[in-house]
Chains A and B, each alone.
Chain A
Amino acid sequence: RKEVEQDPGPFNVPEGATVAFNCTYSNSASQSFFWYRQDCRKEPKLLMSVYSSGNEDGRFTAQLNRASQYISLLIRDSKLSDSATYLCVVPSSGGYNKLIFGAGTRLAVHP
């Protein structure tokens, strides 16, 4: 099993839609999880950190299911500016400070 797996998409949704991405991870000892956003030809930027069962920031909600080893990112009321690639990131089993990046899920929000 890969350390991090994501649905690559693309997800094509209209403005205002609600969209959810899932990510599975293999390291059951992981205590922290992250969602990064990467715009085309830009560096990844931290979107959310998840240390407990979940986190919410405005239209974005991240949820963690430790029993099933997956985390999800929910985006409500999608905006055109949400179009990007969303990277699921977990600490490596080889070290707390090392991160493993998923392949990313592409989101395209259209008018």
Chain B
Amino acid sequence: SAVISQKPSRDICQRGTSLTIQCQVDSQVTMMFWYRQQPGQSLTLIATANQGSEATYESGFVIDKFPISRPNLTFSTLTVSNMSPEDSSIYLCSASRQGPEQFFGPGTRLTVL
């Protein structure tokens, strides 16, 4: 497995602002992903963060709203742009190496007022 950290662990933001979430892995990984988990729901994949190229977004998620960077094999950021209360959720970063198993960061709990 890998040790994954996320910053911030939580934040309360005003509507219309943006928040950037950082994800750091303790060793090189092949794949990194960003998920959203709304209260009482399961995980929904936002995008696959590709190293050195644009992220691959899932249906319903767009780059303008959720820009993602992955400058190297151990670090990625997700920005939640122009936030609204509907963006209140837990945002989770995950990573995988050779197989499909993914390991998760502790999550970022976002509340938008």
Residues of chain A at the chain B interface (Cβ within 8 Å): 32, 34, 42-46, 49, 87, 91, 96-99, 101-104
Asked whether B100 lies within 8 Å of A96 as measured between CB atoms, the reply is: yes
Asked whether B102 lies within 8 Å of A42 as measured between CB atoms, the reply is: no
The answer for the CA separation of A109 and B73 in the assembled complex, in Å, is 40
Asked whether B104 lies within 8 Å of A43 as measured between CB atoms, the reply is: yes
What residue of chain B has the Cβ atom nearest to residue A85's Cβ? B42
Q: Is B31 an interface residue (CB 8 A)?
A: yes
Which one of B33, B48, B101 contacts A49 once the chains associate, using CB atoms below 8 Å?
A: B101
The answer for the CA separation of A63 and B86 in the assembled complex, in Å, is 38
Cβ of B103: which chain A residues have Cβ within 8 Å of it? Answer: 46
Please classify the interface of chain B as helix (H, G, I), strand (E, B), loop, or mixed, using the class held by over half of its residues.
loop
Known: A43-B92, A46-B102, A103-B41. 11 other contacts (CB 8 A): A32-B100, A34-B100, A42-B107, A44-B43, A49-B99, A87-B42, A87-B43, A91-B100, A99-B100, A101-B42, A102-B42
Q: How many residues of chain B are within 8 Å of chain A by beta carbon?
A: 20
Asked whether B101 lies within 8 Å of A44 as measured between CB atoms, the reply is: no
Which one of A46, A87, A102, A104 contacts B1 once the chains associate, using CB atoms below 8 Å?
A: A46
Cβ of B45: which chain A residues have Cβ within 8 Å of it? Answer: 98-99
Q: Is B84 an interface residue (CB 8 A)?
A: no
A-B contacts, 24 listed (Cβ < 8 Å): A32-B99, A34-B100, A34-B101, A42-B106, A42-B107, A43-B105, A43-B106, A44-B43, A44-B104, A45-B104, A46-B1, A46-B101, A46-B102, A49-B101, A87-B42, A96-B100, A97-B30, A97-B31, A97-B48, A97-B100, A98-B48, A99-B45, A103-B41, A104-B42
